């Protein structure tokens, strides 16, 4: 695992954007696995800026997203499809037909199976961008006594619902289930790029970077088994997690 410790979250996002922009430069048909949540927003801004400046070209890139809430429509302001459209896809020159976010409505088990197909269609993503939950979740693979390999419907833990309530009018409105890539789809990517910031992530990052254990109680620890995983954190989080 490669660790990059930056001076600030802003710098972490620049470093992550640089890796993504370099990849699409080297391979214009690159396939990306993308994430939602707060962490990647500045990364997506930097990608949009590069596109606007004419230094990046996503016209032939393809994407598949980690997850989507169950029970809300793609045009719902809190859906991950809406998040990706407004934070990234509308702001870069990607062909939206080449972007995939699972549908949270209808037969969600069938939609999870469709996500699994899309992950591997034409080959697994060249790069999977990841955030990390306070409990170490990646995608919505929640900490627990086991993890699930294929894409599936996951019941969100109370801590995840609480963490994500900030985006909704009240915690009661947060969907309790989500479709997520499983560990197989995530681990199949050519490169994993995990970005984290904030005190809430310290315990999970300690498990990832300090401890030797790989444990379902902290799903991010599976990155230790990936041959090309990059973790970017700022010095404040590094200090909190005890990373020297």
Is 137 catalytic? The answer is yes
What separation, in Å, do the N-terminal and C-terminal C-alpha atoms of the chain show?
A: 15
Residue 35 touching ligand F6R (CB under 6 A): yes
Residue 131 touching ligand F6R (CB under 6 A): yes
Is the Cβ of residue 57 or residue 189 nearer to ligand F6R in the bound state?
189
Q: 3 CB contacts (<8 Å, ≥6 apart)?
A: 209, 230, 231, 233, 243
Residue 37 touching ligand F6R (CB under 6 A): yes
Shortest CB 72 distance to ligand F6R, Å = 14
Cα–Cα distance between 188 and 87 in angstroms, integer? 25
Q: 114 CB contacts (<8 Å, ≥6 apart)?
A: 102, 103
Closest CA to 131 of 11, 2, 6, 12: 12
- Binding part of the chain for ligand F6R, among 43-51, 128-136, 146-154, 220-228 by CB under 6 A, reads 128-136
Residue 135 touching ligand F6R (CB under 6 A): no
**33, 139, 175, 207: which one contacts ligand F6R (CB under 6 A)?**
139
Given the rule CB under 6 A, which residues bind ligand F6R?
Answer: 35-39, 66-67, 131-133, 137-140
């Amino acid at each position: 695992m490669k660790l990059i410790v930056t001076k600030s979250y802003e710098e972490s996002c620049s470093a992550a954007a640089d890796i993504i922009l370099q990849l699409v430069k080297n391979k214009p048909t690159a396939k990306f696995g993308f994430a939602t949540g707060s962490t990647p927003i500045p990364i997506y801004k930097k990608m949009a800026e590069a596109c606007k400046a004419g230094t990046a070209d996503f016209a032939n890139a393809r994407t598949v997203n980690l997850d989507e809430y169950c029970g809300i429509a793609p045009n719902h302001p809190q859906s991950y499809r809406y998040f990706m459209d407004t934070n990234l896809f509308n702001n870069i020159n990607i062909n939206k037909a080449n972007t995939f976010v699972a549908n949270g409505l209808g037969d969600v088990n069938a939609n999870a199976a469709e996500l699994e197909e899309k992950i591997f269609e034409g080959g697994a993503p060249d790069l999977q961008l990841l955030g990390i939950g306070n409990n170490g979740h990646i995608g919505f693979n929640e900490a627990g006594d086991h993890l699930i390999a294929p894409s599936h419907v996951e019941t969100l833990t109370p801590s995840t619902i609480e963490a994500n309530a900030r985006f909704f009018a009240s915690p009661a409105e947060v969907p309790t289930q989500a479709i997520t890539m499983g560990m197989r789809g995530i681990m199949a990517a050519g490169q994993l790029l995990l970005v984290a910031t904030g005190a809430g992530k310290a315990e999970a990052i300690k498990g990832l970077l300090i401890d030797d254990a790989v444990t379902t109680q902290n799903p991010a620890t599976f990155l230790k088994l990936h041959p090309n995983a990059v973790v970017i954190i700022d010095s404040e989080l590094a200090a909190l997690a005890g990373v020297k």
